[in-house]
Structure 1
Amino acid sequence: MSKKINLFVVDDEAGFRKLMVKVIPRTKYHLEVFSNGSEVLKAIEKKEFDVGLVDIKMPDMDGVELLKRLRTQNILTEFVVLTGQASVATAIESMKLGCYDYLTKPTRLDELEAVIQKAYEKKVIKKENIILKEELQIKDKYYEMIGKSSKMESVFSLIDKVAKTSSPVLIIGESGTGKELVAKAIHKNSNRRDKPFIVIDCASLSENLLENELFGHEKGAFTDASSMKRGLFEIADRGTLFIDEIGEMKLTTQAKLLRAIETHQFRRLGGIKQIRVDVRIITATNRNLVEDARNGNFRKDLYYRLNVVTINLPPLRERKEDISLLVKHFMANSQVTTTKKKVGQEFMKILMEYDWPGNVRELANVVERALIISVSEYITPADLPIDFCRLPAGYSYPSDKMGLSKLLKDFERDAIIKALRECKGNKIETARSLRLSRSKLYRKLKEYRIM
């Protein structure tokens, strides 16, 4: 069902207002009528209108004056001017004020509705463009991070604050939540943005190799050291060093890291010269460093040095209102297909019910897979990985008070979805596997709103 258009009419003639209430279809419009401009100005403060029909000739405040006042407000409403006295000068003045169109009374209802519809469509496009622009600004500022949930707004706010300083930042979050993106956003919004942003992952390196990567070595420091190598601390000078999975770092390396952070100096492996650097340190982990410090697996003094500002990244299951935004982002930026796809309601419902242990990274992979597998205009549950066949977290078995008919329908619907997945969306194969005729399968798909 299409959305009703929020419409207002302002005209000082009571007869015309009554006529509009009578002829404007309630199935298509939420209509409000006003007798003067002052009433419109009060109403516009409390409600957003899509389209306004404005009479030019009115006492106290005429239509042109009303339009001038409305245009000073930050509203997206499109206006159509109505008058019983056609005037080229008035029409030009109205159009200069941004009116969508200009009609003379009397006018046919079908003509009026056509103009209202077009004005409404322009308003919708204008609003979508503003939202898109805002999203692009957020993506640009926060390095592809997407979200409008309150938890992500708090993260963005903290990024803005810490970016202005050079203090260490500790980012805590589960795997796949986007910790590196937060680090990049802090760097990009800081006064170090034009300097290096260097990343090192502690989990992927042995203790000796990690130390070598961080601090470098002198020629002859060990058997294979045939030349001097600068470490990442040197390379990141005046920039940002992002140390990922800091909780995996061994205690001996932690001690050297702490000294480098506190003194802004270090020595290459095998060297005697102290090298001074100016590096902003950002670290990240999915571990509980407080617990690790208590158990002796992480230095308390290093934890306190790193934990000047902590940014806790929420898992995707705690910000599910961002899922639709993320899906749109992944689809718009995907390179796996040139065909424009749409998201089916059932597909989105399943995404919203899932708990996402792999967080945003898992969602991105699921969307990419669906785009590759999908054979129709819409992405459907059949395009989901087989893992999604399992019951969602928090699922409870139906109560025995539930009617048998409802239980059977739920079972039938789930069976059809499972068969569609296994047949990769091929409806002929799905019908054959379920021993249904194609026409009956299509009726069932429509009945259960499986796109």
Structure 2
Amino acid sequence: MIGHVLIIEDDKDMCEMLEVGLSRRGFTPRSFVNGLEGVAAIDTEHPDVILTDINLPDVSGMQVCREVLAKWPEIPVIMMTAFGSMETAIEALRVGAYDFITKPLDLDILAVALQRAVDHRSLKQQVQVLSEAFARIHSFSGLLGESKVMKDLFSRLERIADTETSVLITGESGAGKEITARALHEYSRRKKAPFVAINCSALPDNLLESELFGHVKGAFTDAWQDRKGLLQEADGGTLFLDEIGDIPLSLQPKLLRVLEERTVRPVGGNEEITVDVRVVAATNIDIDRAVADGAFREDLYYRLNVITVDIPPLRKRGADILLLAGKFVGDFAAKQGKKVTGLAESTAKRLLGYEWPGNVRELRNAMEHGVAMTLFDKIVPEDLPEKIRRHAGSGIFLETGNPVELISLEEMSRRYIAHVLKTVQSNQSVAAQILQIDRKTLYRKLQKLTD
């Protein structure tokens, strides 16, 4: 992508040199010899990037940068000066400049910096469009989904969010139990108060008790001062107890008392402290079986399980897999600064055919991996984690030892080209030599790779 560059530089000869040099490199430059004129022209010029000198006769380049970011935050600003120093560079970046270039200018290096800034702006615009599109998709707080099972879930959450009722969230690991608990909190009257989460399986029994209920000074070794527990920290808000099925039997009566009496007694303390907290719990085990086996108190179970919310596994959500994958690709592309716009058709088919034992968490991880690995504007199957690439393979192996499916010759060609490009670090000249085709032919094939 080549862009429109607005140049602010008080040296007319430098302006002319920049206009000629950047025009030859495909840019559309327009120069101004003072800062006020340059800034005033932004609304009519609609530049993709602004290149400004730091030292100007009327205003400083720093002031120009601040005003641009205040009024046109989407336009990246690159600053240049003949007096380069680390302090000046840090100050320029601190006020929000996208990049910093020192004179004398190397036009090729400058062109790369400008192109990178233009690409960055384009990427941010794509992410914004994608975010707005996702905002129109049926959702509930941070949860996304268009499948019937998710719409039913959203409807249930809407009915119970603004109640004081205890909720037990069930579902497989990685399905989204904590984000569901957060959604309940965000839609409740408690949303301005704290949301506090703890994994009950992550701490030893004695530490879990202190973490939940707090302790007084001297209650045990290293208890040097009074400390509030999470139940007090969540006062007025919501406490999320993840993996509640793993809470030890010795602590269950104490938690039951909190739910019934709305009071907390810290470890080693004698006084009851009143708390106002909504408890939302979650588990991925069969808690009915735990009750039957005597591993979980029945009375506590009924206190926690006033309303059950079951999160469907990702494999039962159909096209939501691609919806979520697209969201994750957009997020990670923006974070990694890469121009990745989505999934190749063959990748989408692979995702839909996979079982997703790790649910949404595994999909998120796979898309982060794909964005990091891809050489193209769309994620191809070779960019996915090996476990997903290998899924449902025929067991037939190439000489490389990689498992493949029974696929068409065209698909095999596409995969091999991708493999060669990765091997040579995307050097198309070298790849063309290995493939024994000219660069134009390779370019045409690359254009078809993500069709």
- Give the structure-2-normalised TM-score: 0.61
Kindly indicate whether residue 149 of structure 2 is the aligned counterpart of residue 136 of structure 1.
no
Unaligned runs of 5+ in 2: 1-127, 397-404
What is the Cα deviation at residue 424 of structure 1?
3.8
1:174 counterpart residue number: 172
2:354 counterpart residue number: 354
Query: 5 Å matches for 1:331-370?
Result: 331-334=329-332, 335-343=334-342, 344-370=344-370
How far, CA to CA, are the matches of 1:305 and 1:151 in structure 2?
26
Partner-residue secondary structure (3-state), 1:217: coil
Which runs of at least 4 in structure 1 moved beyond 6 Å after TM superposition?
129-132, 395-398, 441-446
1:380 counterpart residue number: 380
Kindly indicate whether residue 299 of structure 2 is the aligned counterpart of residue 310 of structure 1.
no
Largest Rg, 1 or 2 = 1
What is the Cα deviation at residue 349 of structure 1?
1.2
Residue 340 of structure 1 aligns with an amino acid whose one-letter code is: K
How far, CA to CA, are the matches of 1:260 and 1:418 in structure 2?
62
How far, CA to CA, are the matches of 1:423 and 1:385 in structure 2?
18
What is the Cα deviation at residue 324 of structure 1?
1.9
1:299 counterpart residue number: 297
Residue 260 (structure 1) aligned to one of 233, 258, 261: 258
How far, CA to CA, are the matches of 1:259 and 1:309 in structure 2?
19
Residue 348 of structure 1 aligns with an amino acid whose one-letter code is: A
2:155 counterpart residue number: 157
1:184-235 CA deviation, whole Å, 9 max, x = no partner?
1111111111111111111211111111011001111112111001111111
What is the Cα deviation at residue 450 of structure 1?
6.3
1:109-164 CA deviation, whole Å, 9 max, x = no partner?
xxxxxxxxxxxxxxxxxxxx99965742668x733211111111111111111112
Kindly indicate whether residue 394 of structure 2 is the aligned counterpart of residue 391 of structure 1.
no
Kindly indicate whether residue 220 of structure 2 is the aligned counterpart of residue 222 of structure 1.
yes
How far, CA to CA, are the matches of 2:180 and 2:351 in structure 1?
24
Judged with a 3 Å threshold, the aligned counterparts in structure 2 of structure 1 residues 379 and 235 are, in CA distance, closer, same or farther, namely same
What is the Cα deviation at residue 370 of structure 1?
1.1
1:6 counterpart residue number: none
How far, CA to CA, are the matches of 2:210 and 2:416 in structure 1?
51
Residue 389 of structure 1 aligns with an amino acid whose one-letter code is: R
2:366–2:385 CA contact under 8 A, matched in 1: yes
How far, CA to CA, are the matches of 1:285 and 1:414 in structure 2?
44
Judged with a 3 Å threshold, the aligned counterparts in structure 2 of structure 1 residues 389 and 416 are, in CA distance, closer, same or farther, namely farther
2:231 counterpart residue number: 233
1:384–1:421 CA contact under 8 A, matched in 2: no
1:218-275 CA deviation, whole Å, 9 max, x = no partner?
1111121110011111111121111111111111111211111111112111111111
How far, CA to CA, are the matches of 1:423 and 1:195 in structure 2?
52
Residue 337 of structure 2 aligns with an amino acid whose one-letter code is: T
Partner-residue secondary structure (3-state), 1:185: helix
How far, CA to CA, are the matches of 1:230 and 1:409 in structure 2?
61
How far, CA to CA, are the matches of 1:381 and 1:184 in structure 2?
33
1:383–1:425 CA contact under 8 A, matched in 2: no
Judged with a 3 Å threshold, the aligned counterparts in structure 2 of structure 1 residues 195 and 336 are, in CA distance, closer, same or farther, namely closer
Judged with a 3 Å threshold, the aligned counterparts in structure 2 of structure 1 residues 386 and 271 are, in CA distance, closer, same or farther, namely same
What is the Cα deviation at residue 333 of structure 1?
2.1
1:243–1:283 CA contact under 8 A, matched in 2: yes
2:381–2:389 CA contact under 8 A, matched in 1: no
Residue 390 of structure 2 aligns with an amino acid whose one-letter code is: R
Residue 244 of structure 1 aligns with an amino acid whose one-letter code is: D
Structure 1 range deviating more: 418-427 or 256-265: 418-427
Partner-residue secondary structure (3-state), 1:314: coil
How far, CA to CA, are the matches of 2:437 and 2:388 in structure 1?
25
Partner-residue secondary structure (3-state), 1:229: coil
Partner-residue secondary structure (3-state), 1:177: coil
What is the Cα deviation at residue 436 of structure 1?
6.3
1:63-84 CA deviation, whole Å, 9 max, x = no partner?
xxxxxxxxxxxxxxxxxxxxxx
How far, CA to CA, are the matches of 2:322 and 2:284 in structure 1?
25
1:11 counterpart residue number: none
Percent of aligned pairs sharing the same letter: 39
1:275 counterpart residue number: 273
Judged with a 3 Å threshold, the aligned counterparts in structure 2 of structure 1 residues 216 and 130 are, in CA distance, closer, same or farther, namely same
CA RMSD of aligned residues (A): 3.6
Judged with a 3 Å threshold, the aligned counterparts in structure 2 of structure 1 residues 215 and 369 are, in CA distance, closer, same or farther, namely same
How far, CA to CA, are the matches of 1:385 and 1:188 in structure 2?
34
Partner-residue secondary structure (3-state), 1:311: strand
Residue 195 (structure 2) aligned to one of 194, 197, 207: 197
Residue 238 of structure 1 aligns with an amino acid whose one-letter code is: G
1:330–1:368 CA contact under 8 A, matched in 2: yes
1:209 counterpart residue number: 207
Judged with a 3 Å threshold, the aligned counterparts in structure 2 of structure 1 residues 131 and 382 are, in CA distance, closer, same or farther, namely closer
Structure 1 range deviating more: 409-418 or 177-186: 409-418
How far, CA to CA, are the matches of 2:339 and 2:240 in structure 1?
37
How far, CA to CA, are the matches of 1:411 and 1:247 in structure 2?
52
